[in-house]
């Protein structure tokens, strides 16, 4: 069974259960300033889990493209990848535990034919401190399902991962209670790590048992949450009904929601009975090609094969979503993926310029579902080709620079310059130094990097670390101010002005828009005035759901990126009591209810060029 097939079967299965299938959001989240990438299926749906109504209703399903930058260094084992697809289905206050658990179980067992003997599940053991009970309801549902198939249904209490490793599993046990460190899901992890306003809830995870031997390096005994490779988590049913409150306690969300996410490659691996996700067709096509290009075998070179394969796929999807290699923000990761690929390709003796061939096979594998990849194939391949060639030139220059330094040990600062100016991964510097009998001051290097990160603006370091979207009040205020800004710009500069990009934090907004030339100081002042008038007016912000066709043909509705929206869209209107409309724009929210909530005076602090035909404004609320 192929990954492409399982994706389509899942979506159809959910459609048959009255779910609207929605397109994957882009890898780069919109209006979500504090995270660089979409890292889970639920991320684009957070506003709806928090209570906003979704234009497609209360049952949704999709296969969401995800990228986890923090896993770059983890790639190399049989399961970690930076890019992956997460199959998802959501109940926005519609069905709850009974349907969710039964459907997913039946999908695995009846649809794709997994043997229920190989399935093990975990449930939430309760959290007294936060007043969340243990999930006996989920246990009862699981027991009924396992009994129906005539497999054992024993229940055991584990606690933490360490407790699980100490206790191990006994004959007949299939359902395991773990504590909040394992069976609680929020984007910030366990309850105590969640900031105020963050939604979360107990979850019930499904593991596939590949029956491989336990590796004691991972703990005394094996258990579902053991990382030795025997068990693979293939799905997570999150019962999302809680929200952290300002006082640190938990409250209930407006509705009981279900957030289900399951890794497509992992589910396919289980269907194949193959514990190595790189053997799934979605990845194995590239693995085979690496073998052909290098003349080496996968089994003898697991790490370089897996890294190249993962990184090229990630880069292809990223470029397909408009992220070009660069030195900042998302682009930096595309660059890193490609540079690491070049380095690993060199260790395998793959000749120059071959990454583009690998990229082509990624496009071929995925273009049936992700049609944008097929349409942009030439551009994607060209970008990768150019980046590889450029990196090779930089490497050459770096090598010359390195030779000048290599008369002795390399200081942290030198390694840092080699990295930042010449793109030398520090491992490369180390490798070359060792060849010449010298060492690199790695601690010093790390310190320099830290200094650099602290200095780098826009909170990028936090974003790399986190992945936590922030719907704090201030961000929402900035978001509404951004709508007013666009409306003001269009009023002053004309209807050719549209949004080209937006990035908002709790401290400032950054807004890119289409306009061919510099905007004069006088115009900027007028735009500021426009926004501040709207803020002072205490105008209300209302939403309206309409069909995309209607919205698109309504000249009073401003919008861009229309293709990214589903057939039904939401339009936000800012209007005061006297009937003055300040802004009317297509958007997914969230926004303040009234502009009077916006705290501060709107001030444009910078106007500059962003790229050809696109200007950039930075503004603050003072
Ligand atoms: N949010 C959950 C996860 O990412 C399920 O979709 O695992």
| pLDDT over 90 at 74, yes or no | no
Residue 83: which pLDDT band, with cuts at 50, 70 and 90? very high
Q: How far is the CA of 39 from the centre of ligand 1 (A)?
A: 9
C-alpha 443 – ligand 1 centre gap (Å): 36
For atom 4 of ligand 1, the residue with the nearest CA is: 40
Q: CA 445, CA 414: separation in Å to the nearest integer?
A: 8
Hey, which of 238, 239, 242 would you mutate to test ligand 1's pocket, going by the most ligand atoms within 8 Å of its Cβ? 238
| Domain limit, last residue, from 226, 261, 278 | 278
User: Burial letters for 384-415: b for 16+ Cβ neighbours within 10 Å, e otherwise?
Assistant: bbebbeebeeebeebeebbeebbeeebebebb
| The pLDDT of residue 463 is above 70 | no
Rounded Cα gap, residues 163 and 157, in angstroms: 9
pLDDT, one tens digit per residue, over 214-223 is 999 999 999 9
pTM of the entire predicted model: 0.74
- For the domain that residue 519 is a member of, what is the CATH number? 3.30.980.10
CA of 268 relative to ligand 1 center, distance in Å: 17
Share above pLDDT 70 across residues of the chain, in percent, rounded to a whole number:
96
Distance separating alpha carbons of residues 534 and 529, to the nearest angstrom: 9
Q: Are both 57 and 204 inside the same structural domain?
A: yes
Ligand 1 pocket test: which of 10, 35, 41, 240 has the largest number of ligand atoms within 8 Å of its C-beta?
41
Mutate to test the pocket of ligand 1, among 65, 225, 236 (most ligand atoms within 8 A of CB): 236
pLDDT band at 272 (very low <50, low <70, confident <90, very high): very high
Residue range 313-328: mean pLDDT, rounded: 93
Instruction: Please tell me the distance between residue 100's alpha carbon and the centre of ligand 1 in angstroms.
Output: 14
Encode pLDDT of 340-360 as tens digits.
999 899 989 998 999 999 999
Ligand 1 atom having least distance to the Cα of 41: 6
Question: Is the CB of residue 65 less than 8 Å from the CB of residue 39?
Answer: no
505 and 548 share a domain? yes
**Residue 81 sits in the same domain as residue 217:** yes
Which domain-ending residue is among 278, 308, 337?
Answer: 278
Cα–ligand 1 centroid distance for 189 (angstroms): 11
Give the Å distance between the CA of 417 and the centre of ligand 1.
39
What does the mean pLDDT of the chain come to? 91
Residues 351 and 209 in one domain: no
- pLDDT tens-digit map of 35-56: 889 999 999 999 999 999 999 9
Domain containing residue 138: CATH number: 3.30.930.10
With 90 as the cut, is the pLDDT of residue 617 above it?
Answer: yes
pLDDT recorded at residue 472 = 66
Pocket-testing residue among 42, 65, 188, 260, ligand 1, by greatest number of atoms within 8 A of Cβ:
42
Q: Are residues 475 and 569 in the same domain?
A: yes
406 with 546, same domain: the answer is: no
Q: Is the pLDDT of residue 601 over 90?
A: yes
Q: Indicate if 482 and 597 belong to the same structural domain.
A: yes
459: pLDDT strictly greater than 70 = no
CA 43 to chain centre: 7
Query: Separation of 7 CA from ligand 1 center, angstroms?
Result: 17
C-alpha to C-alpha distances, 212 to 209, 232, 489, nearest whole angstrom: 8, 11, 62
Is there a single domain that holds both residue 268 and residue 291? Answer: no
Give the mutation target among 43, 61, 189, 203 for probing the ligand 1 site: most ligand atoms within 8 A of CB: 203
CA distance 430 to 420: 15
Q: What integer pLDDT is reported at residue 122 of this predicted model?
A: 98
Q: Do 259 and 363 belong to one domain?
A: no
37, 44, 85, 86, best to mutate for ligand 1 pocket (most atoms within 8 Å of CB): 86
Number of domains in the chain: 3
Structure tokens at 608: 């500059």
**Number of the ligand 1 atom closest to the C-alpha atom of 40:** 4
Query: What is the distance in A from the centroid of ligand 1 to the CA of 294?
Result: 37
pLDDT greater than 70 at residue 453: no
Instruction: Determine phi and psi for 252, rounding to 5 degrees.
Output: -95, 145
pLDDT, tens only, 528-587: 999 999 999 989 999 888 888 888 888 899 987 776 677 788 899 999 988 899 999 998
Tell me, what's the pLDDT at 303? 94
pLDDT, one tens digit per residue, over 4-39 is 999 999 999 999 999 999 999 999 987 776 688 999
Kindly give the distance from the C-alpha atom of residue 380 to the centroid of ligand 1, in angstroms, as a whole number: 29
Residue range 493-506, pLDDT digits in tens: 999 999 988 888 87
Burial of 244 (0-12, 13-18, 19+ CB in 10 A): buried
Give the domain range for residue 482. Answer: 467-621
Q: Is 128 exposed, middle or buried (0-12, 13-18, 19+ CB in 10 A)?
A: exposed
Closest CA to 238 of 340, 104, 330, 129: 104
Last-in-domain residue among 245, 263, 278: 278
Q: Please give the structure tokens belonging to residue 213.
A: 């031997």
pLDDT confidence of residue 458: 55
Distance 237 CA to ligand 1 centre (A): 7
| Nearest protein Cα to ligand 1, atom 5 | 261
Could you read off the pLDDT of 228-262 as tens digits, one per residue? Answer: 999 999 999 999 999 999 999 999 999 999 999 99
Protein residues with CB under 6 Å of any ligand 1 atom: 40-42, 88, 185, 236, 238, 259-261
User: Distance (Å, rounded) from C-alpha 279 to C-alpha 228?
Assistant: 18
Average pLDDT over residues 129-141: 96
Q: Are residues 567 and 593 in the same domain?
A: yes
Residues 154, 155, 159, 161, Cα dihedral to 10°: 30
Helix/strand/coil (H, E, C) string of 263-293? Answer: EHHHHHHHHHCCCCHHHCHHHHHHHHHHHHH
pLDDT band at 461 (very low <50, low <70, confident <90, very high): very low
The predicted pLDDT at position 373 comes to 96
For 369-388, what is the mean pLDDT? 96
- Same domain, residue pair 450 and 546: no
Specify the ligand 1 atom closest to the Cα of 238: 5
**In a shared domain, residues 500 and 456:** no
Query: 392 C-alpha to center of ligand 1: Å?
Result: 39
Residue nearest to atom 1 of ligand 1 (CA): 42
Using 50, 70 and 90 to split pLDDT, how confident is the model at 417?
Answer: confident
């Amino acid at each position: 069974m192929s990954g492409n097939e399982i994706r389509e079967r899942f979506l159809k299965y959910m459609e048959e259960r009255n779910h609207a299938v929605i397109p994957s959001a882009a890898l780069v989240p919109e209006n979500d300033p504090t995270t660089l990438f979409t890292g889970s299926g639920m991320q684009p749906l957070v506003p709806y889990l928090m209570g906003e109504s979704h234009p497609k209703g209360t049952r949704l399903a999709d296969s969401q493209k995800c990228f986890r930058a923090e896993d770059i260094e983890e790639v190399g084992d049989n399961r970690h990848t930076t890019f992956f697809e997460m199959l998802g289905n959501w109940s926005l206050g519609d069905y709850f535990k009974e349907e969710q658990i039964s459907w997913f179980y039946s999908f695995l067992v009846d649809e794709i034919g997994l043997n229920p003997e190989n399935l093990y599940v975990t449930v939430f053991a309760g959290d007294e401190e936060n007043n969340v009970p243990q999930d006996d309801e989920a246990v009862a549902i699981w027991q009924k399902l396992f009994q129906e198939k005539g497999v054992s249904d024993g229940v055991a209490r584990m606690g933490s991962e360490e407790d699980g490793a100490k206790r191990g599993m006994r004959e007949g046990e299939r359902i395991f209670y773990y504590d909040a460190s394992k069976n609680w899901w929020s984007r910030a992890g366990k309850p105590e790590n969640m900031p105020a306003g963050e939604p979360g809830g107990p979850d019930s995870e499904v593991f596939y048992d590949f029956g491989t031997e336990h590796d004691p390096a991972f703990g005394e005994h094996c258990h579902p949450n053991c990382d030795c490779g025997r068990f693979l988590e293939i799905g997570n049913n999150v019962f999302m009904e809680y929200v952290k409150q300002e006082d640190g306690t938990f409250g209930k969300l407006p509705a009981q929601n279900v957030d289900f996410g399951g890794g497509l490659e992992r589910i396919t691996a289980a269907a194949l009975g193959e514990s190595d996700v790189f053997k799934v067709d979605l990845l194995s096509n590239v693995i085979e090609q690496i073998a052909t290009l290098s003349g080496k075998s996968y089994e003898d070179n697991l790490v370089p094969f897996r890294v190249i394969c993962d990184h090229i796929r990630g880069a292809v999807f990223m470029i397909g979503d408009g992220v070009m290699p660069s030195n900042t923000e998302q682009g930096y990761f595309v660059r890193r993926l490609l540079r690491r690929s070049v380095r690993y390709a060199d260790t395998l003796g793959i000749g120059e310029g071959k990454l583009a061939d690998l990229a082509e096979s990624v496009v071929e594998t995925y273009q049936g579902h992700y049609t944008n990849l097929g349409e942009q194939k030439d551009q994607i391949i060209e970008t990768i080709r150019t980046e590889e060639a450029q990196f090779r030139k930089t490497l050459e220059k770096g090598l010359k620079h390195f030779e000048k330094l290599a008369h002795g040990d390399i200081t942290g600062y030198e390694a840092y310059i080699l990295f930042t100016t010449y793109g030398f991964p520090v491992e490369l510097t180390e490798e070359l130094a060792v060849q010449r009998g010298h060492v690199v001051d790695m601690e010093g290097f790390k310190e320099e990097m830290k200094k650099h990160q602290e200095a780098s603006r826009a909170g990028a370091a936090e974003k790399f670390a986190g992945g936590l979207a922030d719907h704090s009040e201030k961000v929402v205020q900035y978001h509404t101010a951004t709508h007013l800004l666009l409306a003001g710009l269009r009023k002053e500069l004309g209807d050719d002005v549209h949004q080209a990009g937006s990035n908002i934090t709790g401290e400032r907004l950054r807004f890119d828009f289409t306009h061919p030339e510099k905007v004069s100081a006088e115009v900027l002042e007028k735009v500021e005035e426009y926004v501040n008038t709207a803020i002072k007016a205490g105008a209300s912000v209302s939403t309206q759901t309409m069909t995309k066709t209607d919205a698109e043909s309504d000249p009073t509705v401003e919008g861009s990126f229309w293709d990214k929206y589903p057939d039904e869209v939401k339009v936000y209107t800012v209007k005061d009591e006297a009937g003055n409309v300040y802004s009317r724009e297509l958007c997914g929210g969230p926004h303040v209810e009234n502009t009077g909530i916006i705290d501060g005076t709107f001030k444009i602090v910078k106007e500059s060029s962003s790229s050809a035909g696109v200007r950039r404004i930075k503004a603050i609320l003072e």
